[in-house]
């Protein structure tokens, strides 16, 4: 079943067409990758899917609802979560609190009930903290719960952002270059985490430059070049696709394909 349908999405910034008439589907339970040379429009596409940006044309259907024009918080509630290319953690909060904040959309305590410390809000807090602890362990950060986000090493920060995104209880998880800056061991740990997340029933759409990771984990790949989709298919076919190879020629990633 198609969980996400992107149809003819176009986004222009002045004279530049950052995303040019892009259409593709993400099927439930899949890990799908979006790749392409720098400036291909991958992050802009992510921003459109999460309402950080609005498309000029086209539609985005998530679970049969057109989500274009929804505010970000509604999209999160609908079940789309994301991470950022430049991690957007809450530096002065602990890892556990970062993940607990991710549960904002799926919890209820308001200003008044929290100020009065009503019993149900105390229970909700405890449940949120327990779930946040579970998610930290899922991404391998169990022993870092009390550390400030600012004190975490780079590789762990990306995992923390994934745990925070999972706390929103997403059906679709968008990961923007999760392996950037990770060493080989950390990338392998990330791949394991992605499988565990997928096995929990979360569909994953990933933007990534690390071709080894992309080829290993993804079921399907969409290739963008200068905003337009130039190929789509399973990793083996993408690796041999002449248009893809041409797009990457002269790019340092070309030999990695």
Neighbours of 119 (CB within 10 A): 9
CB of 102 to other proteins, least distance (A): 5
- 65 is a site residue for other proteins (CB under 8 A): no
Helix axes 119-138, 154-166, angle to 10 degrees: 130
Degrees, nearest 5: CA angle 251-253-254? 75
- Please state the length of the chain: 257
- 46 is a site residue for other proteins (CB under 8 A): no
Burial profile 221-241: b = 16 or more Cβ within 10 angstroms, e = fewer = bbbbbbbbbbbbeebeebeeb
73 within 8 A of 135, measured Cβ to Cβ: no
Q: What is the DSSP letter of 148?
A: B
Give the binding range for other proteins (CB under 8 A) out of 10-18, 26-34, 112-120, 212-220: 112-120
* Comparison of 159 and 231: residue with beta carbon closer to other proteins: 159
Give the residue, chosen from 30, 68, 105, 189, that forms a contact with other proteins under the rule CB under 8 A: 105
- 30 is a site residue for other proteins (CB under 8 A): no
Give the binding range for other proteins (CB under 8 A) out of 36-44, 128-136, 204-212, 240-248: 128-136
The residue assigned the tokens 């589907």 is: 25
- 231 is a site residue for other proteins (CB under 8 A): no
- 96 is a site residue for other proteins (CB under 8 A): yes
Give the residue, chosen from 1, 64, 146, 250, that forms a contact with other proteins under the rule CB under 8 A: 146
CB of 203 to other proteins, least distance (A): 17
Give the separation between CA 224 and CA 248, rounded to whole angstroms.
Answer: 11
8 φ/ψ sector (left φ>0, alpha ψ -120 to 50, else beta): left
Sign of CA dihedral 70, 72, 75, 80: positive
Closest CA to 83 of 177, 12, 8, 19: 177
CB of 38 to other proteins, least distance (A): 21
Give the residue, chosen from 56, 63, 124, 219, that forms a contact with other proteins under the rule CB under 8 A: 124
Annotate each residue in 167-206 with x if it binds other proteins (CB under 8 A) or - if it does not, as one string. Answer: xx--------------------------------------
* Comparison of 2 and 52: residue with beta carbon closer to other proteins: 52
Residues touching other proteins, count (CB under 8 A): 47
61 within 8 A of 234, measured Cβ to Cβ: no
Binding site for other proteins (CB under 8 A): 50, 52, 71-73, 76-77, 81-84, 88-94, 96-97, 100-107, 109-111, 114-117, 121, 124-125, 128-129, 133, 145-146, 164-165, 167-168
């Amino acid at each position: 079943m198609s969980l996400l349908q992107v149809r003819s999405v176009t986004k222009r910034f002045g004279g530049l067409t950052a995303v040019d008439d892009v259409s593709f589907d993400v099927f439930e339970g899949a890990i799908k990758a979006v790749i392409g040379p720098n400036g291909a429009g991958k992050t802009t596409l992510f921003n459109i899917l999460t309402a950080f940006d609005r498309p000029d044309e086209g539609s985005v259907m998530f679970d049969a609802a057109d989500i274009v024009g929804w505010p970000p918080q509604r999209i999160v509630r609908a079940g789309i979560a994301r991470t950022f290319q430049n991690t957007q953690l809450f530096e002065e909060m602990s890892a556990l609190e970062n993940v607990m904040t991710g549960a904002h959309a799926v919890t209820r305590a308001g200003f008044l009930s929290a100020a009065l410390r009503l019993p149900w809000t105390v229970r909700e807090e405890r449940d949120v903290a327990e779930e946040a602890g579970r998610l930290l362990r899922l991404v391998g950060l169990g022993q870092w719960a009390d550390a400030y986000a600012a004190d975490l090493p780079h590789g762990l920060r990306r995992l923390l952002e994934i745990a925070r995104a999972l706390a929103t209880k997403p059906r679709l998880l968008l990961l923007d270059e999760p392996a950037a800056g990770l060493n080989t061991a950390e990338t392998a740990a990330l791949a394991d985490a992605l499988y565990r997340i997928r096995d929990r029933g979360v569909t994953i759409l990933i933007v990534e430059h690390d071709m080894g990771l992309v080829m290993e984990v993804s079921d399907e790949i969409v290739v963008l070049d200068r905003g337009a989709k130039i190929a789509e298919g399973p990793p083996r076919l993408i690796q041999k696709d002449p248009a893809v190879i041409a797009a990457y020629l002269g790019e340092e990633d070309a030999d990695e394909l």
